[in-house]
Amino acid sequence: MKVRDVMTAPAITVSAATCAARAAQQLVRHGVSGLPVVDENGYLVGLVTEADLIAIEVTGASLNVISVGDVMTTGVAVADLNDDVESMSNRMVALGHRRLPVIDGRRVVGVVSRRDLLRHCDAADREILISVRKAIDDAGLTGVVTATVSAGVVRLTGEVRDSDRRGLDERIALIDGALGVDDRLSTPY
């Protein structure tokens, strides 16, 4: 799965000249914690976050007289439209970032956040479970098998013949998106 499949688009952006108070309004209005800062061509120049804006308030300065360009972070880590979700997720965790602007070339086209990834995990798990249930039905097993999916890992419980068990594990391992099989099946005597 690619970043393009999970990102929020279009990105809500601001320019470096935007008043910090206006950026704060955008954050609240859209329920996000950070905004990409772009130039007139839509190219990324920075990122402004809630923390940046709160820091202004703490110093006693007014959000109405400070521009986004004065407080934004530059040299921002980004995700590309075609990045693999898993590797991009690992990068976000390693960097400790809550969101990454998504770029196509140099133009900002979206944002991928931790929330987007969680939403994707839940949807992906449901889709995987549908495929797992079909694989169980298609296997024509003599026993009863229950399946659950969490973060891409399929957990199997129940009782089946040993020969059915191996085939089922192999079939499930081939399902798109399944990251592993936690086989807790038992074999009848």
Give the start-to-end residue ranges of the domains of the chain: 3-116, 118-186
Helix axes 85-95, 114-139, angle to 10 degrees: 140
What are phi and psi for residue 177, nearest 5 degrees?
95, -20
Is the distance from CB of 14 to CB of 35 less than 8 angstroms?
Answer: yes
Q: How confident is the model at residue 52 (pLDDT cuts 50, 70, 90)?
A: very high
| Residue 83 tokens, joined | 């990045």
The predicted-structure confidence for 7-44, as pLDDT tens digits, reads as follows 999 999 999 999 999 999 999 999 999 999 999 999 99
Query: What is the model's pLDDT at position 122?
Result: 67
In what helix (H) or strand (E) does residue 42 lie, and over which residues does it extend? none
Name the residue among 168, 180, 164 with its Cα closest to residue 125. Answer: 180
Q: Which residue has the higher pLDDT, 19 or 123?
A: 19
Of the CATH numbers 3.30.1340.30, 3.30.428.10, 3.10.129.10, 2.60.120.260, which one belongs to the domain with range 118-186?
A: 3.30.1340.30
Global pTM?
0.66
Any bridge partners for residue 14, and if so which?
A: 37
More confident residue, 87 or 81: 81
CATH number of 3-116: 3.10.580.10
Q: Which of 77-86, 93-102, 173-182 is the least confident region?
A: 173-182
Average pLDDT over residues 1-9: 87
Q: What is the pLDDT of residue 85?
A: 84
Going by pLDDT thresholds of 50, 70 and 90, the confidence category of residue 189 is low
Distance CA 154, CA 180 (A): 6
